[in-house]
A and B are shown apart, each in its own frame.
Chain A
Amino acid sequence: DIQMTQSPSTLSASVGDRVTITCRASQSISSWLAWYQQKSGKAPKLLIYKASTLESGVPSRFSGSGSGTEFTLTISSLQPDDFATYYCQQYKNYPYTFGQGTKLEIK
């Protein structure tokens, strides 16, 4: 199985900050990577697919980059609504696998 490792596990930041979350795959997954946002008690929401394509309706302050084994999710200017947990997911091979999550907290 392809292992996905996110860093950091927890990130404290302030409104207006630029933040970056990293996701590493245990083998190359080309660009078959998605990012999801999950708020407490809610279902995950797709933010980015194919590593860098923004899902319709997602604010442009979110961006994704990378290919192969290293990927990043960047939020250019944090808004209050962005404090949540973020997951990466590979869909190169079965089983789909997720990173362990990055909890973005208010500093």
Chain B
Amino acid sequence: EVKLVESGGGLVQPGGSLRLSCAASGFTFSSYWMSWVRQAPGKGLEWVANIKQDGSEKYYVDSVKGRFTISRDNTKNSLYMQMNSLRAEDTAVYYCARDDAAPGFGDLGLDYWGQGTLVTVSS
């Protein structure tokens, strides 16, 4: 059974930092692109970033470029998101998702999602 479990969310002040983790199991983690998607309270879904199987390619939405860094450790079956210079508008539930949608690489969409971890940026 594919399982994705996020952790690391919490309350942080504006300008602060947080590191999210996503533990994967039930599939060969090193064979898949992985994505982070967020959802602000009461709002829709926003894709944030993804990373190739070996970490050699990473893509970000403009609003987080230069502030967020996606990474992975295939030896630990884990995905990460380092979030710096956090703003109030980064407040959201952050989901990790298995990504079989990368242009030129996959065509199945974001096929498995974790339950999410809430990040609240507030003073």
The chain A residues found within 8 Å of chain B, CB to CB, are: 1, 32, 34, 36, 38, 42-46, 49-50, 55, 87, 89, 91-101
Contacts and interface: CB of A to CB of B under 8 A. Distances in A.
Interface stretch (B20-28, B42-50, B78-86): B42-50
B113 A43 contact: yes
- Dominant secondary structure of chain B at its interface with chain A: strand
A33 B68 CA distance: 26
Nearest to A90: B101
Contacts of A42: 115
Contacts, number: 71
Contact of A96 (B101, B111, B113, B114): B101
B111 A55 contact: yes
A99 B47 CA distance: 11
B109 interface: yes
Given A43-B95, A91-B101, A95-B62, A50 B107 contact: yes
Contacts of A93: 103
Contacts of A50: 107-108
B113 A89 contact: no
A46 B44 contact: no
A44 B50 CA distance: 17
B44 A44 contact: no
A95 B44 CA distance: 15
Contacts of A38: 45
